[in-house]
């Protein structure tokens, strides 16, 4: 198993978000985290990425305690939250160059190819603040292909994308899984993928009031 969660419990403001949460993500699997607004979907993703420690339970990365394999975990996992996570004063090419450098990657030769695959040809050197919200989202998503990460953890990745962009991203997610990668995502979008999707329903895991 790539990522294993055991007996995860989290509460916020004396309200249990989820409890007794157990699931394991294997290579080539796509998992969708579902739940109503405020159910803890983003909180769960941040916990899985090691960005939130307000929980009890166990998380394992490839059979090892996540906390004891942090360097390997950070290298093999890509996380994208709600925000585009780009510097809008920089161009798409500059943003992706900085991203590669931050992960110790030398993917500069691939940056143009990746930008083209996200329909950003001709925008490589344009400051991102001059681009639409959808184009900025594409720049942010382009980092997934450059990351070389085995596991993608992405929060509402379809935000601001048009119909074509949604279809292209669905195809990209399917291709990553077919190549043996894994995905955990949240989305209010009804996924249309030729790929089996497993579900964690946080509404079913919620409590009422913490004891």
Confirm whether 175 is domain-assigned. yes
Confirm whether 166 is domain-assigned. yes
Confirm whether 104 is domain-assigned. no
Confirm whether 162 is domain-assigned. yes
Q: Worst-scoring range by mean pLDDT, 26-30, 59-63, 101-105, 156-160?
A: 101-105
| CATH for 12 | 3.40.50.300
* Mean of pLDDT over the chain: 91
Q: Give the containing element (helix H, strand E) for 176.
A: helix 163-178
The tally of domains found in the chain comes to 1
Contact 7, 58 (CB under 8 A): yes
Confirm whether 102 is domain-assigned. no
Confirm whether 77 is domain-assigned. yes
**pLDDT confidence of residue 147:** 92
Confirm whether 122 is domain-assigned. no
**pLDDT confidence of residue 79:** 96
Q: What percent of the chain has pLDDT over 70?
A: 97
**Which conformational region is residue 163 in: left (phi greater than 0), alpha (psi within -120 to 50 degrees), or beta?**
alpha
**pLDDT confidence of residue 192:** 85
Binned at pLDDT 50, 70 and 90, residue 207 comes out as low
Its domain, for residue 51, covers: 3-85+149-205
| 132 Cβ contact list (under 8 Å, min separation 6) | 160
């Amino acid at each position: 198993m790539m990522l294993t969660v055991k007996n995860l419990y989290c509460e916020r403001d004396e309200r249990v978000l989820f409890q007794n949460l157990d699931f394991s993500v294997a290579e080539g699997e796509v998992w969708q985290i579902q739940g109503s607004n405020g159910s803890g979907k983003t909180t769960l993703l941040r916990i899985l990425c090691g960005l939130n420690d307000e929980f009890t339970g166990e998380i394992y990365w490839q059979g090892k305690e996540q906390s004891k394999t942090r360097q390997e975990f950070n290298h093999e996992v890509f996380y994208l939250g709600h925000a585009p996570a780009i510097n809008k004063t920089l161009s798409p090419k500059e943003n992706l160059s900085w991203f590669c450098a931050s992960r110790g990657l030398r993917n500069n030769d691939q940056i143009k190819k990746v930008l083209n695959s996200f329909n950003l040809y001709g925008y490589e050197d344009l400051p991102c603040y001059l681009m639409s919200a959808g184009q900025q989202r594409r720049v942010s998503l382009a980092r997934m292909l450059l990351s070389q990460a085995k596991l993608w953890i992405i929060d509402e990745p379809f935000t601001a994308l048009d119909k074509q962009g949604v279809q292209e991203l669905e195809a990209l997610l399917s291709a990553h899984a077919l190549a043996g990668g894994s995905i955990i995502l949240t989305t209010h979008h009804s996924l249309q993928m030729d790929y089996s999707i497993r579900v964690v329903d946080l509404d079913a895991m919620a409590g009422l009031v913490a004891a």
